[in-house]
Each structure stands twice: as C-alpha cells, then as structure tokens.
Amino acid sequence: MTTEQTNEDQPVKTNWDATLAFWVLRVWLGVRAIVTGLEKYSTTVITQKPLMDPTTGMEDASGALVDIAHKVYALTNYNAVPPSLASKFATEPLLPKLLLTPFYALLGPVLILLGVTLLIGLGTRISLFLQGLLYVGLTVGMILIHEDGGIAWLGIHVALIALALLLARHNRFGLLKNG
C-alpha cells in the first residue's frame, strides 16, 4: 500500500493490488462479453478446392476436391443460440415464444454493448450489474432444459461479476466511474 495526500492533508491508503485485480476482471469480463456477442454473428463456410499433390505442389491429376472450412462474420449470420438449444427452449412451456423472440434478437447486441461499456468504464457498476442479470437470465434457461454444464459455466461468470462488483470501489480509470 502507498499513501497519498488529499486536499485536507488526510492520508488515503491506495490498494493497488485490489485495483489491479479489478482491472483484470473488468478486462476479462468485457472481452468475454464482446467476443461472445460477436460470435453470434459467425458461421462456418465450406468451400471446395482442388487437392494438391504434396510432392509437386500441383493440383492432383485425378481432379479430387477437398472441403475447406473457414469462419466468417456477417450481420446475416446472426444466431443467438445454437439450433440444438433453440429447439429445446422452444419446447419448454416456461419459456414462452413471446419472450424468447426479443431475447434472442437482443442477446448478441446487448453482450457487445455491455462488454464495450465495461471495457471503457462507462457506468462500470451498472454494466457489471446488467451483465450479471443477463447471465442469470441465461442460467434460468439452462436450468429449464437441464444443461448442467452450462449452468455451472454461467455460475462462474456470475461469481466473477459479483467479485468485480465488490472490487469496483478500486476502479481508478473509466468514464462515469461511480455509475
């Protein structure tokens, strides 16, 4: 700990360990939300290319083709949840379609928005709280379709957010730090 002087010449203790811990959580949770949101816009495209002869580097004389898979991102690829989970959610009576449709539509953009606001420190506490509520909502869905692995995974995220909220008073840089 170091000691800084305030305007009233009262010493204020600075706990840099807690500040650094908060920054690590803030960056990790922000990047995690952004990348998760961006992944909602990805898909795998398979193209066929001629098989190359490894010794000559030329196309195989037989004309054989190989499938090459690569990931692409586009707004038209948006998919909030994998089809296997979407079909499970569709049959769950406690998840009415009236609620699922807007939730699916907003999930990716909200994850990106909350991740960006957390990274830049715009209303950090509010951003963390809303991210926590989002993960709680996702957890409810996982509980209803009995996806125990997903429940545990989301529980870890909620615990990290709770820890970040406890450390938020050590936030030193950000816009609207007190929010």
Give the number of domains in the chain: 2
Per-residue pLDDT of the chain (179 residues; tens, 9 = 90+): 455 555 555 555 667 888 899 999 999 999 999 999 999 999 988 988 888 877 777 787 777 888 888 899 999 999 998 888 888 888 888 888 888 889 999 999 999 999 999 999 999 999 999 999 999 999 999 999 998 989 999 999 999 999 999 998 888 777 765 65
- DSSP label of 59: B
Q: Residue 179 CA to chain centroid, in angstroms?
A: 21
| Confidence (pTM) | 0.79
Are both 111 and 151 inside the same structural domain?
Answer: yes
Q: In a 10 Å sphere around its CB, with 0-12 CB exposed, 13-18 middle and 19+ buried, how is residue 118 labelled?
A: buried
Quote the pLDDT of residue 126. Answer: 94
Quote the pLDDT of residue 23. Answer: 92
Distance CA 38, CA 147 (A): 23
Are both 112 and 27 inside the same structural domain?
Answer: yes
Are both 58 and 112 inside the same structural domain?
Answer: no
Quote the pLDDT of residue 114. Answer: 97
Are both 24 and 99 inside the same structural domain?
Answer: yes
Are both 37 and 114 inside the same structural domain?
Answer: yes
